[in-house]
Amino acid sequence: MSGGIPVYFDCDTGIDDTLALFYLLSRPNHDLVGVGCVSGNVDAAQAARNTLDLLALAGRPDVPVAVGEHDFLTAPYTQGPAHIHGVNGVGDVTLATSGEPVEQDAADLLIALSHQYEGALEVIAVGPLTNLAVAVARDPELASRVARVTIMGGAALAPGNLSPAAEANIGHDPEAAAAVFDAGWPVTMVGLDVTMHHRMTDAERQQLVAAGTPLQTTLAEILDTYFGFYDGILGVRECTLHDPLAVAVATGDAVPSLAPVVKVKVETGSGPARGATVADLRGMYRGHPPVEGARHTVVLTIDRPFGPDMLEALLALKPAS
């Protein structure tokens, strides 16, 4: 559709990125106007390949996809967690190859869209924040033209998942994350505090299988790898809904029940807290009074389970015609 709220989506596709992309496409009031890909679950080029193929599967080959940064700001990208997302990022399912990325890189695509949709563009980032940091460095005025940035990343009170302190998206490129939090735009952080508590069950995955359409069947197949990994973490065949939950918060479909607006700093030192998101939640004992100059919304709880909404959105998606 067009005429909705314009969204630039930055991702490292990835299985939960796949869910997030499809969830975003299902939202009637939002219009995906561009995708930038970054290294994380797979390298940026493979993430773009996956994204293009998934967009074609969902009947949206018109969405521009840009390859972004291969390496992190201060470290080379080496390899992704194949035991979680498969070697190719989509559970080692072979997708039909469709389309090519645009010539500009992800940072330039984001900057161009911020001019085209000045003041209205929503940025949703569900991978390492390297592309966003590069864009901010390239154009320091970028932050003033973007309505809001919503990220899947960080852990304010919960433990990390890359290390005891760091969530993976932040921990892979802490310098980039620090630059994104320090830029002048409002940032909504949907981190492990909340995403670990919203899951898709295997019974729900089976409903995708039962739908029998190529889109839903392929998705169920992709999810099989992810469920296998999470079985070892959660002790049950379910998966957490990290990236799609960030999309749902950005679109207003998932409404936080506790989300103080505070100041967040990212630890960029080399010690054990590298990549930690240090959220100033000292107001918690006084009902989180307003903090002057704060513009980081830290989502801590969403009372309504997101899994059923996610499934409903996936079942309603129409395959490519």
Binding residues vs Ca ion (CB under 5 A): 12, 14, 17, 126-127, 243
For Ca ion, the closer CB: 73 or 262: 73
Q: Minimum distance between the CB of residue 59 and Ca ion, rounded to whole angstroms?
A: 22
For Ca ion, the closer CB: 243 or 253: 243
The two structure tokens encoding residue 208: 């995708």
For Ca ion, the closer CB: 34 or 260: 34
Query: Out of 12, 43, 193, 243, which one is annotated catalytic?
Result: 12
Q: Minimum distance between the CB of residue 30 and Ca ion, rounded to whole angstroms?
A: 18
For Ca ion, the closer CB: 170 or 262: 170
For residue 310, which of 192, 150, 178, 198 has the smallest C-alpha distance?
198
What phi-psi label fits residue 220: left (phi over 0), alpha (psi between -120 and 50 degrees) or beta? alpha
For Ca ion, the closer CB: 44 or 262: 44
Q: Are 238 and 290 in contact (CB under 8 A)?
A: no
The two structure tokens encoding residue 190: 């949907």
For Ca ion, the closer CB: 26 or 50: 50
Residue 193 annotated as catalytic: no
For residue 67, which of 44, 39, 90 has the smallest C-alpha distance?
44
Q: Minimum distance between the CB of residue 22 and Ca ion, rounded to whole angstroms?
A: 13
The two structure tokens encoding residue 140: 């320091």
Residue 30 annotated as catalytic: no
In whole angstroms, give the CA distance from residue 12 to residue 9: 10
Q: Minimum distance between the CB of residue 281 and Ca ion, rounded to whole angstroms?
A: 25
The two structure tokens encoding residue 240: 């957490």
Q: Minimum distance between the CB of residue 321 and Ca ion, rounded to whole angstroms?
A: 28
Task: Return the CA Rg of the chain.
Answer: 18
Query: Out of 85, 172, 242, 296, which one is annotated catalytic?
Result: 242
Q: Minimum distance between the CB of residue 37 and Ca ion, rounded to whole angstroms?
A: 10
Catalytic residues: 12, 242
